[in-house]
Structure 1
Amino acid sequence: MKKNTKEDYFTVDQKQLARFAKALGHPVRIAILELLDAQSCCYHGDMAEELPIAKSTLSQHLNELKDAGLIQGDITPPTVKYCINKDNWLLAKKLFVTFLK
Structure 2
Amino acid sequence: MFDYVEFGNRMFIARMRKNMKQHEVAKALSLAQSSYSEIESGKREINLTQLFTLADALDVSVNYLLGLNNTSSQFSESDLLKIEEYKMFLLSQKHK
Same fold (TM over 0.5): no
TM-score, length of structure 1 as denominator length: 0.36
Which structure has more relative contact order (CA 8 Å, sep 6+)? It is 2
TM-score, length of structure 2 as denominator length: 0.38
Structure (1 or 2) with the greater strand fraction: 1
